[in-house]
Chains A and B, each alone.
Chain A
């Protein structure tokens, strides 16, 4: 235990990287998820199909494969594009950006399933009523759809967030100095990998425990006026 305390600085730094990575990926994934959900519910068949291709693709490719493809392949692609167009030279994608892009892209697909289900759970009559009183589409979304969507989406959203937090561990494989990477290198240099990995497990459990509390609080807020069985 003493050794963990001795290395607390590096562990705290890693935890901050992990949490900021998770939160930024969450923001990206919610944005992509909203687009994906509306694409899947769109009246146009072409857009619907694009939404479905997105979610099916993400469901069938493991996260680490996608992350490596974006980190190594994306870098080469952008550099090659720059070479062809002559606009820029060598470009480097850093690990943090690659991590945010990959996790955002992957969880965007899961979020779009979540939001699609939540939008479908809103009674159609309410949206018709909103149209009947002359609300614009933006207003309908803000006043009628969104508050209820949050309520219906929360359980599945919570689940996605917990899986996302766990997936952030993968960025250590492409070399980002996150919690896992820092703890692993500290463990290597002290020959105490087991102790450090146990500490990482505990930190992850704390993160998920705290987010569980926060999400429960949000759930209470958004389910105001709902009668529970």
Chain B
């Protein structure tokens, strides 16, 4: 206790005399920032999870050029990858209320009028579109030998997909997926524009409430940096584990060249 009081006094001293940033306010509201971080993480990872689940069948249909289905999916990914996420969120949150039918349907009250659900739907559709496209690339680059070997073993098309094509496509897509995760996190700040209290939302609230210029945004920024740092560590570990077979063997020329760099 003694220790904490002296720490607070120290913060107060620094905030009032030395720095232009009021650390006491940040310290007092740090709990809210953690709550905001929880909302941000929830939005990001739920959207990634559901979007990823949607993307797998779509990517398969795209990669195998299913007639009618593939061009339709391409249209969907083209529209969602080619336009700003902000506009997509506005379209769902502010736009859907334009239609009488939507306002009177059973979906309106619990789902389509709530900012959380609208943001969730927009994020999910957005990340599903991006994931579909790079997963399609990963499936298309499956070495033909792997498929032939699977056929030679007598695997049915579904078994082949489940045991050979998809696991290796996921592996190849892993580096691109780390970018997608970080971009989805970056995109999640848009939630704060439709009144959700995510990390940036809390920062904006703090700044608005105490009429500040830096504190809320800087704190949110530090939180985002920490989250991105953790995500990239997680992906480095995942790459080490799942892409082990692609690493140069110890003692090989490539390994020596990489070590020299």
| A positions within 8 Å CB-CB of B | 57, 59-66, 68-69, 72-73, 75-77, 80, 162, 166-170, 172-173, 180, 184, 187-188, 191-195, 197-198, 200-201, 204-205, 208
Contact = CB atoms under 8 A, between A and B. Distances in A.
Contacts of A197: 87, 90-91, 94-95
Interface stretch (B156-164, B222-230, B252-260): B222-230
A166 B91 contact: no
B15 to A, nearest CB: 15
B134 to A, nearest CB: 12
B213 A72 contact: yes
Nearest to A207: B82
A201 B87 contact: yes
A65 B203 CA distance: 9
Tell me the dominant secondary structure on chain B's binding face: helix
Contacts of A200: 83, 87
B94 A187 contact: yes
30 contacts: A57-B225, A60-B182, A60-B229, A61-B224, A61-B225, A62-B224, A64-B189, A64-B192, A65-B203, A68-B200, A72-B213, A72-B217, A75-B213, A76-B213, A77-B213, A166-B82, A166-B84, A169-B84, A172-B86, A184-B94, A192-B98, A193-B91, A193-B94, A194-B94, A194-B96, A194-B99, A197-B94, A197-B95, A201-B88, A205-B83
Nearest to B98: A194
B30 interface: no
A162 B78 CA distance: 12
Interface of B: 20, 78-79, 82-88, 90-91, 94-99, 182, 185-190, 192-193, 200, 203-204, 207, 213-214, 217-218, 220-221, 224-225, 228-229
Contacts of A173: 86, 193
Contact of A69 (B78, B86, B214): B214
A52 B190 CA distance: 27
Q: Lowest 3 CB-CB distances: which A-B pairs, in order?
A: A76-B213, A194-B95, A169-B84
Q: Which of B86, B94, B192, B220 has the most CB of A within 10 A?
A: B86
A74 B204 CA distance: 15
A128 B156 CA distance: 56
A107 B220 CA distance: 21
B214 A205 contact: no
At the interface, is chain A mostly helix, strand, loop or mixed?
helix
A117 to B, nearest CB: 14
Contacts of B207: 72
A80 B20 CA distance: 9
Contacts of B79: 201, 205
B12 to A, nearest CB: 20
Contacts of B87: 169, 180, 197, 200-201, 204
A120 B83 CA distance: 32
B217 A69 contact: yes
Given A62-B185, A72-B213, A201 B228 contact: no
A169 B85 CA distance: 9
A36 B32 CA distance: 36
B221 A59 contact: no
A191 B98 contact: yes
A168 B91 CA distance: 17
A172 B95 CA distance: 17
B221 A64 contact: no
B221 A65 contact: yes
Contacts of A205: 78-79, 82-83
A109 B193 CA distance: 25
Contacts of A62: 185-189, 200, 224
Nearest to A201: B83
